Structure formats: C-alpha cells, structure tokens
Structure 1
C-alpha cells in the first residue's frame, strides 16, 4: 500500500504576488531601455523603437489600471485578504485552469520568458556594438 504525503495546510492563491508583477515590469523596462541604448544608431530606427516602446507602455499600464479598478470595486462576498509575503506566496499553491502549481514554479513560468528575451536582446545588442566597432576603419 502506497501512501503519498500531501500537505493540506498550503494556501491556494489565484493571483500573482505584486512583487512578481514588479519583476515582470522591470524586465519589460529593461528590454525597452536596452533596445534604445544598443540599437538606436540611425534616424530610421527611432520610429520603430518608439512604437515598440508605446506598445510596452500600454501592455504595462492597461493591466495595472484594470487591477486597480478590480481592487476598488470588489464584490462584497469576495474575501478581503491582507497582504501576503513573497515567501508565503511561493510556498503556497497557485491555481491555473483547474490545476495547481507551486507558487515558485508559477513565478518561474511567468518570469523566465521575459528574462530570456530581455537578457537575450542585451547580449545580441552587445555583440552588435562590438562587431560594428571592429568593422569601422
């Protein structure tokens, strides 16, 4: 007879911790900043970088504004939970489409693609700057 140990005292969350959102915003800002710093070398690229930056600003501000509205006009039957520490959130479980993930795994799933794109762009930009410096006589 096999017995699986299941911890039943873990809290279950249905939204990301605010620090995870902050880290995601930081990675998006890093991406946009590095794009401007490393790739804005001619006048014809400024319009494209401006439009991409505008897209990122809208992608950050729209969910932020919706979350502020959601918190302000919460239904009376919804529980009003106090702030949770990041450590408690990571140790708990995160509901995803009827399944549950560990909080730390959910944070990795959210932040890993953003980190890969942000730091990958930085690496490509550094190589681009080095190659361009060596190519000029």
Structure 2
C-alpha cells in the first residue's frame, strides 16, 4: 500500500518499529556519562563538589529509572516477539510516532542531538575551565 502525504510517497511494506534500538539507548547512556564526567573534570575542587554530587545523582536517576522501567516492561509484556532487529535493519526502517511514522535515522538524530549538544557543550566548558586555571 502506498500513501501520498505532503508530496512524499511512503510505502507501508514494513511495519514501523515502536521502540528504539538498544544501541540508541547505549548512546544516551554514553552521552549522560560524558556530561557527568566533563562536569567533574572541569569543575571539581573547592567548595562546590556537593553540587556536582547532586547533579550526578540526578543524571544517574534520569538514566536508571527509564532503564528499570524498560526492563520491567520487557519482562512482563504479554507478546514475545522474535529476534530483535539488527541495527542496520532498524536504522533503514521506520519509527512509529503517535502522529505518523518517520525514518528511524531521523528519529534517532532528533532524539540524540539535544543530548549530544549538552554533553559536548559541557565538555567544551570543562576544557575552557581547565585552560583558565
């Protein structure tokens, strides 16, 4: 079946993926770790280390809570799909949003771009803080 929407032709031969690939989640965890590590490298020392502990705690909780919830969901869902898709197959397919399916590569970029901007921005701040001291 082919549907035309806003001068785009979309074929619905494959079912759109409803979840992200595990490597996207690993990238999110890596970017959160980069953010936290950059904050510690650039701004540790002095009286403000307790603030870094608080920020690191928030980052750990923001990664741990969705990971735990996802693990519980996977363990208790009723339908057990077959083997998980390989990353090249997933990235070539479509990702189902609530409005309409989009390319999985576009969805991955839109999800990871804000996280990468914050992580790399903090890394830049850490480098500038080290150069200044």
What is the TM-score when the length of structure 1 is the normalising length?
0.85
| Residue in structure 1 matched with residue 129 of structure 2 by the alignment | 128
**Cα-Cα RMSD:** 1.8
Q: Among 8, 12, 16, which residue is 1:8 paired with?
A: 12
Residue correspondence of structure 1 range 1-137 to structure 2 within 5 A: 5-42=9-46, 44-75=47-78, 78-132=79-133
* Cα offset, 1:6, TM superposition: 3.6
3-state SS, counterpart of residue 12 of structure 1: coil
Q: Which runs of 5+ in 2 are unaligned?
A: none
Q: 1:67 to 1:104 in 2, by over 3 A?
A: same
How many angstroms apart in 2 are the aligned matches of 1:41 and 1:95?
46
How many angstroms apart in 2 are the aligned matches of 1:107 and 1:29?
19
Q: Number of residues paired by the alignment?
A: 128
Q: 1:11 to 1:51 in 2, by over 3 A?
A: same
How many angstroms apart in 2 are the aligned matches of 1:125 and 1:27?
15
How many angstroms apart in 2 are the aligned matches of 1:130 and 1:4?
50
Check conservation: 1:10, 1:91, Cα contact below 8 A. no
How many angstroms apart in 1 are the aligned matches of 2:77 and 2:129?
49
